[in-house]
Structure 1
Amino acid sequence: MTSYDFLPELSEGAVKPPVFLTSTFAFKGAGELAALIQTAHDNRGGKSNEALPLIYSRINHPNAEIFEKRFSLWNGSEEAAVFASGMAAIATTSFAFLRPGDILLHSSPLYGGTEDFFARELRTFGIKTASFSAESDYSEIKKIAKRACRRGPLRMIFVEAAANPTNVLADIEACAEIAEEFSSGKRKAITVVDNTFLGPLWLNPFKHGADLALYSATKYIGGHSDLLAGVVEGKAKMISRLKSARTRFGNIAGAFTCWLLTRSLETLKLRMTAQVKNARRVADFLRDDRRVEKVYYPEFFEEDSNQNRLYEKQCSAPGAVVSFDIKGGRKTAFRFLDALKFFKLAVSLGSTEPLAEHPATTTHYGIPREKRIRLGITDKMIRLSIGLGSPYDYIFDLKQALDEAVRDRRARQLR
């Protein structure tokens, strides 16, 4: 992993890949350049699985190639494509595989930006959407798919492996089976899994039938809150199609971003393992605190529930995002957040530092209130991203913030 697909002798003996800060690449002769341009031009639709030549950094560049090849090792995928952000990965995947009149069926809740993109942007291009609860089983999803197909052909099922911010798990195998059943002709319905919360360590979507797995690489993969990126992995033919679309849209991640991502891959397992260890302790503390109404964490699913069966089937660890409902509602939640010392009040997750946010007024604000409440994203919910610090510091901070929030609430009640 730490040296895969890089030869030091090609870069003056450098042990680590340098940053290739160039927009274009020189050639020895006009004939050579013309031949490569023709190859790239003929593959505009992703018809060939051959690697794109190094011509211009909007098409590809060495730092992107190194990261993509190393990242594909984690889940054993054939290829990967890196993008300028997680939303760039989602948007490009959508436009590469969907056409006007097609149906996109997705789980809910999703990250608010994804929900908004599906609801607003795709519909302006004639792409129709339908949704199902992330907790739905095979029969429920199929029923909704049948109803949706009255409006057009089903071409994509999109799910978050663990829903943001409720941690509800989607049944990937059921979605893949339904996509296969609804495929017709030359155009296959595909299953796309946003694996940001649990991947690539704790869940491998391809073991359960997914066609593509995508990530906001800004989160755990980058892991240091110092970059924006996205990545999609899957079969070579599908990734070639994505790379062709990426060239046209111009949303490949830059050289320095890819260099940072490659650096971060070397510590990904160490970081995610330590974060899960800390998250388990934080989740246990919150579950035992009487001021907390409910904790949303995969290890806390009821033993005989379908969610617990999915967790045991699909996941090897619960991840490091812990959401919970605080007793008292929005005002108490805000007082709690304002009282935090170690946790930073910020959107995003997966970094070395601990972060806290209020989903209903930040990441999921764009979802209509009635739908948010129906999905469990209420004003009393708080989402935590657990970092690499001492779990005792985190628990101390959460306890003092709970003390402050409840003390202030009681004082107001006595007035």
Structure 2
Amino acid sequence: MTKTRKDFRRKFIGNHRLSPESQMMGYGYDPMLSEGALKPPVFMTSTFVFESAKAGKDFFELAYGKRQAAEGEEPGLIYSRINNPDLEVLEDRLALWEDAEKGLTFSSGMAAISTCLWAYLRPGDVIVHSAPVYGGTEYLIRNILPAFGIQSVEFEAGGDEATLAPAIEQAKKLGRVAVIYTETPANPTNDLVDLHMCRDLADKLGEEQGHRPVVMTDNTFLGPLWQKPLSHGADIVIYSLTKYVAGHSDVVAGGAVGAADVMAPVAGFRTILGTMCDPHTGWLIMRSLETLKIRMTESANNARKIAEYLRDHPKVSKVHYLGFLEESDPCYSIFQEQCGGAAGSTFAFDVDGDEAAAFRVLDNLSIIKLAVSLGGTESLMEHPFAMTHSDVPDDVKNRLGITESMLRISVGIENVDDLIADLSQALDSI
């Protein structure tokens, strides 16, 4: 009997369901199809040879939706803009972490975000989005989408329905609400958004306007290990794979997962826009997926110790760390249910003083690198007001708590005592 790729997508041993960290070692790949190579080769090819003209016709009909797949039929390889063996295995494995039906990978996190939005937004539509969000996402929504007739209404993250419900009402007056876009935890404040609430309001909107908005969530800060938004109300979960998933600060990529029918329009737009991930990058990310749980766990353990140190430091006025949420905070119950109580390893803190004081801390770092991005094996720090969120209007940043005294740290897997020593001497500069 000829084996297909389905034979190498085993999720159970008897009645025992395999965990994602085990499945990362071989799911979706048969070494015997690649000369017995333990790891998938890098398929650096632009095009693939068809066995016959009929096979080529069948592949294209399925790829472009001209017919439905027969039972057991899978898309054939055509061209690396459409599909590629490395990306197919990677996308299968990425989907496992959230038990999603379909995963897609992109050339960057912003490519993932923009492709998902283009797939579901049309001129005259309105996007309702949480704030703050990553600076690139903010720029896309605030400055680029309006040129295509798409308006936006923001609501502040923080777990309070009083901010989302009025935003929905305002958006309904402007046009068809097509997308509810969230980033939770928010970059850089770590404020949370209740995804159950987003789902419920999307369902209600669907009944009112005859079109249910798609709930999209940027899960870069905690996912896919510590938070699984699909199980809490999101329709599409988006990642900057550059960050924790790739985790070595050596690739740029993005990802999105969701139900097959929800992801189908995104896949179509990716093919035409050409925003797919390249095979070599995909291969590197597959390598990184094998150590994802180990890396994220170690960096989270380090982050807790550093957050506790900063909380007690006389020159630090506030630490925006999820593990410090109090029960009276609207985000506390969201954190417990939605994040499982996992605080992650990227957070911000406010130093006493102004931009000059914050810059002195950054300029005096030794082990911790002064750089943007996050989720790598090394620790990084940056100044959100002047760097990652530079494009966001100053009044908006101040309203959202992104001040000139705020620093963001992504904690890596170095020795935590060394990191604390570095922070201590840097804070002495204030």
Q: 1:30 Cα deviation (Å)? A: 2.1
CA distance in 1, matches of 2:67, 2:311: 53
The Cα offsets for residues 355-396 of structure 1, whole Å up to 9 and x where unpaired, read as: 000001110000000110011111000000000100101000
1:382 aligns with 2:403: no
Amino acid at match of 1:60: N
Letter of the structure 1 residue corresponding to residue 389 of structure 2? H
Q: Which consecutive unaligned segments of at least 5 residues does structure 1 have?
A: 407-415
1:357–1:384 CA contact under 8 A, matched in 2: yes
Matches within 5 A, 1:99-118: 99-118=122-141
Say if 2:303 and 2:346, in contact at 8 Å, map to a contact too.
Answer: yes
Match 2:80 to one of 57, 67, 82: 57
When residues 133 and 43 of structure 1 are mapped into structure 2, their CA distance, relative to the original with a 3 A threshold, is farther
Tell whether the 8 Å contact from 2:309 to 2:420 is kept in structure 1 after alignment.
yes
Which residue of 2 is the match for residue 39 of structure 1? 62
How far did 1:37 drift?
2.0
Q: Indicate the RMSD between aligned Cα atoms, in angstroms.
A: 1.8
Figure out how many residues of one structure are paired with residues of the other and give that number: 404
Picking from 173, 191, 198, the partner of 2:196 is 173
SS at match of 1:94: helix
1:45: Cα distance to partner? Answer: 12
Distance 1:333 1:44 in 2: 59
Alignment match, 1:413: none
Report the CA distance between 1:288 and its aligned residue. Answer: 0.3
Deviation at 1:82, TM superposition (A): 0.5
**Partner amino acid for 1:392?**
D
Q: CA separation in 2, counterparts of 1:245 and 1:253?
A: 14
Whether 1:393 and 2:422 are equivalent positions in the alignment is no
What is the TM-score with the length of structure 2 in the denominator? 0.91
Residue of 318, 321, 326 corresponding to 1:294 = 318
Aligned AA (2:189): T
Match of 1:333 in 2: 358
1:160-193 superposed Cα distances (whole Å, 9 cap, x missing partner): 1100000111111111111111115763211111
1:348 equivalent in alignment to 2:373: yes
The change in CA–CA distance for 1:11 and 1:212 in structure 2 (over 3 A counts) is: same
- State the distance in 2 between where 1:230 and 1:177 align: 27
- Are the counterparts in 1 of residues 239 and 254 from structure 2 also a CA contact under 8 Å? yes
CA distance in 1, matches of 2:344, 2:230: 18
2:386 aligned with 1:373: no
Note the C-alpha offset of 1:71. 1.1
Is the CA contact (8 Å cut-off) linking 2:125 and 2:175 kept in structure 1? yes
1:240 and 1:322 mapped to 2: Cα distance? 34
In structure 2, runs of 5+ residues without a counterpart are 1-22
Q: Mean alpha-carbon deviation: is it higher for 138-147 or for 117-126?
A: 138-147
Change (3 A) 1:50 1:244: farther
- How far residue 121 of structure 1 moved from its aligned partner, in angstroms, is 1.2
What is the identity, as a one-letter code, of the residue corresponding to 1:181?
A: K
TM-score under structure 1 normalisation? Answer: 0.94
Kindly state the Cα deviation for residue 252 of structure 1 after the two structures are TM-superposed. 0.6
Q: Which amino acid aligns with 2:43?
A: F
Among 297, 304, 309, the alignment partner of 1:273 is 297
Q: Deviations over 1:263-305 (max 9, x none)?
A: 1110000000001000000000000001001000101122221
- CA distance 1:318–1:31, shift in 2 (3 Å): same
Aligned: 1:324 with 2:349: yes
2:225 to 201, 215, 228: 201
2:78 is paired with a residue whose SS is: coil
Q: Which letter does structure 1 place at the counterpart of 2:378?
A: E
Residue 254 of structure 1 is matched in structure 2 by: 278
Q: CA deviation at 1:43?
A: 5.1
Residue of structure 2 in register with 1:410 after alignment: none
Matches within 5 A, 1:8-157: 8-42=31-65, 51-157=74-180
Report SS of the residue matched to 1:42: coil
**Is this contact kept in 2: 1:78–1:236, CA < 8 A?**
yes
Percentage of identical aligned residues:
45
Structure 1 SS opposite 2:97:
helix
User: How far, CA to CA, are the matches of 2:277 and 2:322 in structure 1?
Assistant: 32
Name the amino acid aligned to 1:296. Answer: H
Aligned partner letter, 1:160? E
Task: Look up the equivalent residue of 2:157 and give its one-letter code.
Answer: A
Corresponding letter in the other structure for 1:137: D
Change (3 A) 1:263 1:270: same
Matched-pair contact (CA < 8 Å) for 1:278–1:388: yes
Structure 1 pair 230–161 and aligned structure 2 pair: CA distance change class (3 A) = same
Task: Indicate conservation of the 8 Å contact 1:99/1:127, yes or no.
Answer: yes
The match for 2:337 is: 313
Deviations 1:228-250 (A, max 9, x none): 11000000111122111100000
Maintained 8 Å contact 1:45/1:241? no
Q: How far apart are residue 322 of structure 1 and its match?
A: 2.1
**Contact 1:49–1:240 under 8 Å retained in 2:** no
Q: Is the 2:61–2:67 contact (alpha carbons within 8 Å) kept by the matching residues of 1?
A: no
Asked whether the 8 Å contact 2:303–2:345 carries over to 1, the reply is yes
CA positional deviation for 1:49: 12
